[in-house]
Structure 1
Amino acid sequence: MNASRVQSFFAGMLVANSAPHIATAVSGRRHLTPLAGRDSGPVTNGVWAGLNLAGGAALLLAARKGKAGVRWDRDLVAFETGYLAFASWMALSERFFPMNSE
Structure 2
Amino acid sequence: MHRSRIASFTAGMLVANAAPHLATAVTRRRHLTPLAGRDSGPAVNGAWAALNVAVAVGLLTWSARGKAARWDADLVAFGFGHLTFAAWMAASEAVAPMNH
Q: TM-score range by the shorter chain?
A: over 0.9
The gaps in structure 1 that reach 5 residues or longer are: none
CA RMSD of aligned residues (A): 0.6
What CA distance in whole angstroms lies between the structure 2 residues aligned with 1:42 and 1:19?
A: 13
Per-residue displacement from partner, 1:11-57 (whole Å, max 9, x unpaired)?
00000000000000001100000000000000000000000000110
What CA distance in whole angstroms lies between the structure 2 residues aligned with 1:30 and 1:44?
A: 9
**Pairwise mapping of residues 77-96 of structure 1 onto structure 2 (< 5 A)?**
77-96=76-95
1:12 maps to a residue whose letter is G
The gaps in structure 2 that reach 5 residues or longer are: none
What CA distance in whole angstroms lies between the structure 2 residues aligned with 1:60 and 1:17?
A: 16
Deviation at 1:61, TM superposition (A): 0.5
| TM-score (ref. length: structure 2) | 0.98
2:52: which partner in 1? 52
Deviation at 1:71, TM superposition (A): 1.2
2:95 maps to a residue whose letter is F
The runs of at least 4 aligned residues of structure 1 exceeding 4 Å deviation read none
What CA distance in whole angstroms lies between the structure 2 residues aligned with 1:37 and 1:87?
A: 20
**Pairwise mapping of residues 23-62 of structure 1 onto structure 2 (< 5 A)?**
23-62=23-62
Question: Identity of aligned pairs, percent?
Answer: 65
What CA distance in whole angstroms lies between the structure 1 residues aligned with 2:25 and 2:94?
A: 21
What CA distance in whole angstroms lies between the structure 1 residues aligned with 2:30 and 2:95?
A: 19
User: Would you say how many aligned residue pairs link Structure 1 and Structure 2?
Assistant: 100
What CA distance in whole angstroms lies between the structure 2 residues aligned with 1:88 and 1:19?
A: 14
